[in-house]
């Protein structure tokens, strides 16, 4: 009999990375290749534009008993009360689940990239101002797929990964400044 086969999710690999967009997807795909990380970075786990969608994907993956790293920007939640409530609910739901690692960045993942070059805890009010600062260190950086799919942009700063982790860990997130929790993903992947 003809027809499409249902694709089964291969849960042999114990760490799955779920995220918002193509920047996160390509960054972690390149890290996986360059650092030989043992994780799954698949396009179908990205492009989740809301906390609700990410939460549904996480729930499905957890049924397979795998670890899940959630990568997303917190800028919308910072300026929208409803999204902020959803984010807090999501964090609370998984805060004691050691199979889920939540790695949000405010305003965006570009702050994580910036931490590879400078130690800062300033508040970037939006991604545009942050990207302007990042371009001082990665002049050609842009968020187009044609740029992101080439691993050379990650190769430019991968040697400063430890510096970024130290910088991110030292930020006091209670002070209303920009932050990134992506160091938690790196810590897990480096084990």
Q: DSSP readout, 108-173?
A: -HHHHHHTTT----PPPSSHHHHHHHHTTTSTT----HHHHTSTHHHHTTGGGHHHHHHHHHT--G
Q: pTM value? A: 0.89
Higher pLDDT, 43 or 179: 179
The enclosing H or E element of 31 equals helix 22-35
Give the pLDDT confidence of 136-186 residue by residue, as tens digits: 999 999 999 999 999 999 999 999 999 999 999 999 877 779 999 999 999
């Amino acid at each position: 009999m003809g027809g499409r086969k249902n694709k089964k999710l291969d849960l042999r690999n114990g760490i799955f990375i779920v995220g918002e967009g193509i920047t996160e997807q390509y960054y972690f795909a390149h890290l996986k290749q360059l650092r030989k990380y043992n994780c799954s970075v698949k396009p179908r786990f990205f492009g989740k534009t809301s906390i609700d969608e990410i939460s549904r994907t996480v729930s499905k993956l957890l049924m397979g008993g795998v670890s899940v790293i959630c990568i997303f920007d917190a800028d919308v939640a910072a300026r929208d009360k409803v999204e902020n409530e959803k984010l807090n609910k999501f964090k609370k739901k998984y805060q004691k689940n050691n199979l889920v690692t939540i790695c949000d960045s405010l305003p965006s993942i570009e702050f994580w990239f910036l931490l590879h070059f400078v130690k800062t805890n300033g508040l970037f009010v939006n991604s545009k101002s942050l990207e302007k600062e990042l371009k001082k260190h990665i002049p050609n950086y842009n968020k187009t797929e044609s740029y992101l799919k080439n691993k050379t942009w990650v190769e430019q700063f991968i040697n400063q990964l430890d510096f970024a982790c130290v910088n991110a860990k030292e930020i006091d997130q209670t002070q209303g400044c920009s932050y990134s929790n992506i160091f938690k993903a790196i810590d897990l992947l480096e084990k």
